[in-house]
Amino acid sequence: MTDEKRFSPEAQRYLDGETVNGLDQSELAAADLFGQVIQEYAASLRTPGAEVDRAVMDAIVPRARSHRPASLWRWLVQPHLFTVRPALVAAAAITLVAIGALTIDIPGFTDGEQAAGTTTGQPATILVRFELRAPDANEVTLAGSFNDWSPQGVQLVKNAASGLWTATVPLTPGEHQYLFVIDGSQWIPDPSAHAQVDDGFGQANSVIVVGPRGVVRS
């Protein structure tokens, strides 16, 4: 009875992804069923969302205060990126989004426009936050000139309550074109980008120009 409930060594090797000869039909069926069940289990697992990032950063950034020299501290607290929202303008209260936009030198950073492996005179990199409200989407990614337009490149994370998808991406200063990709197939522009430009294929790409202090969006 116990034997029935164990996988044979051949079946184990089969499940390990090795090539196996002479696996009998019932063992093969059991192994395949096992694979299927595990796949469904893995797909059913949820993963922690962006609230973890917020909690972590809230916990560590104030802690850094006492350890940093004053000049660096000024640099850290200086809001380099802010987002302007029309709705708040109407209320005469523009929201400034202070994200840590940092001057950093990152060898090997590539954004589709920049040679890899720079070792001296490295460019500044700015953290830029992308947002899209898409409550019904199952997956949102960001594809653009900074990641060779790979739809798998940057995954946004959903806030379940608000339906807002977000990602923070380090970008070099200058112009970047991009689109959001919803559920792997629907490419849509960012309504809050600086501008939308002809993509040469009859549709539009979103454009942002990243300055050293970040990006102001509409």
Partner 1 sequence: MGSQSDAVLVRRILDGQVELFQVLVERYRTEFGRYATAMLGGDVDDAADALQEAFIRAYRSLASCRDQERFKAWLFRIVSNQCHNTRRARRSHVSLDRIEEPEDSAAARRMDDAEIGQTIEAALNELTGEQREAFVLKHVEGYSYAEIASLLDVGEDALKMRVHRARDELRHKSEGLR
Partner 2 sequence: MKHSLHTLAFLAVGLFAILPSAAHSQDVRTRLLDRGASVEFANQVAEIVDNARAEQLPTEPLVSKALEGWANRARVPQGRVIAALNQSVQRLRTGRQIGLAAGLNPLPGPVVSAAADAIGRGMSREQVGQVLGSATGPDVAATGLTVASALVAQGLATEAAVRVVGDAFRHGRPPEEILEFPSALTGIRAQGREMSEIARQIMQGGGLPSPTAPGMGGRGTRPQGVPGMPGDGQKKKKGSSGGL
At its nearest, how many Å lie between partner 2 and the CB of residue 188? 11
Nearer to partner 1, 5 or 185 (CB): 5
Q: What span, in angstroms and rounded, lies between the C-alpha atoms of 196 and 168?
A: 21
**Binding test (CB under 8 A) with partner 2, winner from 29, 113, 135, 191:** 113
Nearer to partner 2, 36 or 78 (CB): 78
Q: Within a 10 A sphere around the Cβ of 109, how many other Cβ atoms?
A: 19
The footprint of partner 2 on residues 12-41 (CB under 8 A) is: none
CB 176 within 8 A of CB 210: yes
The contact pattern for partner 2, residues 197-216, with x = CB under 8 A and - = no contact, is xxxxxxx-x-xxxxxxxxxx
Q: For partner 1, how many residues bind (rule: CB under 8 A)?
A: 61
- Torsion angle in degrees (nearest 10) through CA of 158, 134, 82, 214: 80
Task: Examine residue 50 and tell whether it contacts partner 2 (CB under 8 A).
Answer: yes
Q: What are phi and psi of 213, to 5 degrees?
A: -105, 10
Nearer to partner 2, 39 or 78 (CB): 78
Q: What are phi and psi of 35, to 5 degrees?
A: -60, -40
At its nearest, how many Å lie between partner 2 and the CB of residue 90? 9
